[in-house]
Structure 1
Amino acid sequence: MSEPQQAGAELAPRYTLWQLFAYMLGLGTWGFGGPVAQVGFMYRDLVERRQWISEADYKEGMALAQLMPGPLAAQLAIYLGYVHFRILGATLAGLAFVLPSFFMVVALGAVYVAFGGIGWMQAVFYGVGAAVIGIIAMSAYKLSSKNIGRDKLLWAIFLASAAVTVITKSEVVWLFLGAGLLVWLLRAPPKFTGRLHGMAVSAPVVGAALLGSVDWPQLVEIGAFFAYAGSFVFGSGLAIVPFLYSGVVQEHHWLNDRQFVDAVAVAMITPGPVVITTGFIGYLIAGFWGAVVAALATFVPCYLFTILPAPYFKKHGKRPGIKAFVDGVTAAAIGAITGAVIVIGERSISDWVTAALALATVAVLWRFKQFPEPLIVLIAALIGWLVHPMMQAA
């Protein structure tokens, strides 16, 4: 690394905080394509074109975002805000990136609640739900190829996690942590203990404390659950899908299977982080304040997991023990996503049309690596709108 890169964070910024805020607000509004595309936009715009962020700072932000639980693109945005403007910059950058998609899903939630019984909306989600299954399946494949490769230990963890998810139809958080500790102990026996584990289990407590003064029992319950969920989203934002399914549908019975798949579909057709689906789910449960509490509780842990370790990450982030722990947790999370494809697919694939849509989605994403997922979802929505009435009449 060159000296100019090493000194990146120490140089006076070439931009103002409000310029960064405006950029993140724009990216949160038009940034379709999922987390991989969004972090690519940030590199292209902030490092290469505008040269606001040094390449060294960008790489450190990417490493931290991959290491800590939380949605990748949102955490990178928070870290880049922190580089030159510390806590205020991190807060405003994160809010600017997340708020546009939050307001979009709240608006869609209002329409869904108001007109959910109308045929056109049911028809649209009939097609979109099937396409979402295909998208999640391909995401699981890409994640496993990239993060697991030919590693036999990680494949064993992956298969065990997938099997547990399918059999129990739920997410087992302790399996995630156990997988991380197993790989840590086998591959990098620690010379220090408890640091990462303590951070991982503290966020649910933080999230619950932030919502402790809320008077409405349901909002407290929503806040506690989503803070807990947001504390274990490693890697792709899609990792939260099986966790949410087990809690929202199986445990609390806040939504039915159809509503949950629709919630994931809404996240797919809006820009910003996939995890913003929690805002839509919260709206369906308890209206606007349910959406606010669910989204806030989900993002507060990832915000804390970014700003708290940021000052120390350069010193400790590359330790073999931490990397081994994350490898194990990531393998278990990808296994859970794969298991969730089967669990949710059993309920979303209801006939030959939805099966064909799911398979076609996989085929298109396999053949055309850069094909935009929102376009697939919109095409599936049109197909559902045209075909669903005919299937109902048949």
Structure 2
Amino acid sequence: MVNPPPTSASQQPSLGSLFFSFFRLGLTAFGGPAMVPYIRKMAVNEKGWLDGTVFDEGVALCQAIPGATAMQVTAYTGLRIRGVAGALATFVGFGLPAFILMMVLSAVYVSTANLPPAKALFLALQAIVVALVAYATVSFGKTSLRQWFSFVIAGIAAVLFIVGINPIIVIFLAALLGIALLPAPDKKQEAPVTALPRPETSFFILLAGACIFFVLLYFLEPDLFTLAATMARVDLFAFGGGFASLPLMFQEVVVVHSWLSSTAFINGLALGQVTPGPIVITATFVGFLAYGFWGGVVATIAIFTPSFLVVIGTVPYYDWLHSSQLYQKMFQGILFSFVGLLLSVTIKLALAVPWSWLPGLLAAGTFVSLLLGAEILWVVVAGVGIAAGVFVFVH
């Protein structure tokens, strides 16, 4: 079993209470990782379900494994409170509002994308998305690239990705370069390795269920299996949070499988920004446009299942993972490579936008606003409002 939670049995919430508490939080979950403090406020300060130190350890773990950080923190919180069943309740509850809204917006997009107002709106959103990804590149680079070897790994990754090398190969190469170039961590700072119990039996049941899901898709709906396998692969290699998945998803969706054009993919990213939840909810949009309703459902399940299983499978081994020099060097190498991957996807997305004075001003204004510390949600809302006002004035 997972380490018992610090709350007494009388303080433990029901699974229904967990689900609806995180569902309400998910309705306003804008900003991705920015939601982590709000999750902490509810679970630690308001509800008293977790000790603050236990919560902070979970945040550190979720930053060191692939997947959308905020979503994984919700799973970790539920796991510590009510085991695997609690993790499933918090994870689904938090992500469900984003899924429902993205499915609705995807259906609206299919029927209205060619209308002049919608074209004007999405042109504005495309420019804003380019600025958002450019800002993510700069922000991630400032915190990640410090020594010469970090710039080497990031530069190699950028070049390989731009010329079309499979991003999974780039990630493996970055991990190997991390092992070869990075100095060993200071042993004095390493956490002691302690024996921890195995994951709950429920974890292995869920893992078996996920395998059955993919096997059934393989035999019954090969196209949906390809979609699911692609999204699962993107999630498994998305070290560094949701934005880290963008280069992988762009490469697979636009370049490898041609499910969407570059323009449509940018529009999906834009919708992912203006809806609550992680940016990887764009997978729902991709699946819906490629294969309709069931495509959206399958893509959503596939993009979130691996990171959920990784969380509940690695929590018992947190100390071992944190103390492994090999893992730390591989992880740092992968993080450096994502700066290059983000740079390359910024360039590719920018080339797909039909630039004129309005999208140019929106992109520049968005980028500067983010550099000055503005909230992403309000930047997007302001940009859309300006674009709508200009459209009404011109027409």
Secondary structure of the structure 2 residue equivalent to 1:344: helix
Structure 2 residue corresponding to 1:352, chosen from 348, 357, 366: 357
CA distance in 1, matches of 2:56, 2:283: 28
Percent identity of equivalent pairs: 28
1:321 maps to 2:326: yes
CA distance in 2, matches of 1:261, 1:207: 30
Report Cα offsets for 1:19-78 as digits up to 9, x if no partner.
Answer: 32222111211121222x111111222223333211221122112211111011111111
1:309 matched to which residue of 2? Answer: 314
CA distance in 2, matches of 1:207, 1:359: 43
Structure 2 residue corresponding to 1:166, chosen from 152, 162, 166: 162
Q: Give, in angstroms, the shift of residue 206 of structure 1.
A: 9.5
Structure 1 residue corresponding to 2:52, chosen from 46, 52, 55: 55
CA distance in 1, matches of 2:97, 2:351: 33
1:221 matched to which residue of 2? Answer: 226
Instruction: Decide whether the 8 Å contact of 1:47 with 1:53 is kept in 2.
Output: yes
Instruction: Decide whether the 8 Å contact of 2:98 with 2:277 is kept in 1.
Output: yes
2:382 matched to which residue of 1? Answer: 379
Superposed counterparts of 1:175-186, under 5 Å? 175-186=170-181
Secondary structure of the structure 1 residue equivalent to 2:27: helix
Report Cα offsets for 1:115-147 as digits up to 9, x if no partner.
Answer: 222111111111011011111111111112223
Superposed counterparts of 1:83-232, under 5 Å? 83-148=80-145, 150-168=146-164, 171-186=166-181, 187-188=183-184, 210-214=213-217, 215-232=220-237
Q: Which stretch shifts more, 217-226 or 298-307?
A: 217-226
Change in CA separation of 1:206 and 1:349 when aligned onto 2, cut-off 3 Å? farther
1:255 matched to which residue of 2? Answer: 260
CA distance in 1, matches of 2:152, 2:177: 12
CA distance in 2, matches of 1:221, 1:8: 39
The runs of 5 or more residues in structure 1 that have no matched partner are: 1-6, 190-203
Instruction: Decide whether the 8 Å contact of 2:67 with 2:239 is kept in 1.
Output: yes
Instruction: Decide whether the 8 Å contact of 1:158 with 1:334 is kept in 2.
Output: yes
CA distance in 2, matches of 1:266, 1:209: 31
Q: Give, in angstroms, the shift of residue 282 of structure 1.
A: 0.7
Q: TM-score if structure 2 supplies the norm length? A: 0.87
CA distance in 2, matches of 1:152, 1:143: 16
Q: Give, in angstroms, the shift of residue 156 of structure 1.
A: 1.2
Secondary structure of the structure 2 residue equivalent to 1:308: helix
Q: Give, in angstroms, the shift of residue 336 of structure 1.
A: 0.2
Instruction: Decide whether the 8 Å contact of 1:128 with 1:378 is kept in 2.
Output: no
Instruction: Decide whether the 8 Å contact of 1:8 with 1:53 is kept in 2.
Output: no
The runs of 5 or more residues in structure 2 that have no matched partner are: 186-206
Change in CA separation of 1:162 and 1:206 when aligned onto 2, cut-off 3 Å? farther
Instruction: Decide whether the 8 Å contact of 2:167 with 2:251 is kept in 1.
Output: no
2:283 matched to which residue of 1? Answer: 278
Change in CA separation of 1:309 and 1:319 when aligned onto 2, cut-off 3 Å? same
Instruction: Decide whether the 8 Å contact of 1:69 with 1:233 is kept in 2.
Output: yes
Change in CA separation of 1:293 and 1:124 when aligned onto 2, cut-off 3 Å? same
CA distance in 2, matches of 1:381, 1:205: 44
Change in CA separation of 1:205 and 1:233 when aligned onto 2, cut-off 3 Å? farther
Q: Give, in angstroms, the shift of residue 311 of structure 1.
A: 1.3
Q: Which amino acid aligns with 1:344?
A: L
1:294 matched to which residue of 2? Answer: 299
Report Cα offsets for 1:358-389 as digits up to 9, x if no partner.
Answer: 1111111112x1x2212222222233334458
Change in CA separation of 1:388 and 1:212 when aligned onto 2, cut-off 3 Å? farther
CA distance in 1, matches of 2:21, 2:210: 28
Q: Which amino acid aligns with 1:85?
A: R
Q: Which amino acid aligns with 1:350?
A: W
How many residues matched? 367
Instruction: Decide whether the 8 Å contact of 1:78 with 1:94 is kept in 2.
Output: yes
CA distance in 2, matches of 1:144, 1:95: 32
1:197 matched to which residue of 2? Answer: none
CA distance in 2, matches of 1:261, 1:251: 16
Structure 2 residue corresponding to 1:234, chosen from 225, 236, 239: 239
Change in CA separation of 1:366 and 1:10 when aligned onto 2, cut-off 3 Å? closer
1:343 matched to which residue of 2? Answer: 348
Instruction: Decide whether the 8 Å contact of 1:79 with 1:90 is kept in 2.
Output: yes
Q: Which amino acid aligns with 1:182?
A: L
CA distance in 1, matches of 2:135, 2:38: 22
2:18 matched to which residue of 1? Answer: 20
Change in CA separation of 1:130 and 1:181 when aligned onto 2, cut-off 3 Å? same
Change in CA separation of 1:310 and 1:245 when aligned onto 2, cut-off 3 Å? same
Secondary structure of the structure 2 residue equivalent to 1:345: helix
CA distance in 1, matches of 2:392, 2:173: 48
Q: Which amino acid aligns with 1:179?
A: A
Q: Which amino acid aligns with 1:296?
A: I
Change in CA separation of 1:314 and 1:23 when aligned onto 2, cut-off 3 Å? farther
Superposed counterparts of 1:363-374, under 5 Å? 363-367=368-372, 369=373, 371-374=374-377
1:73 matched to which residue of 2? Answer: 70
Root mean square deviation, CA, Å: 2.3
CA distance in 1, matches of 2:258, 2:170: 23
CA distance in 2, matches of 1:97, 1:360: 31
Q: Give, in angstroms, the shift of residue 158 of structure 1.
A: 1.1
Q: Give, in angstroms, the shift of residue 216 of structure 1.
A: 2.0
CA distance in 1, matches of 2:144, 2:4: 29
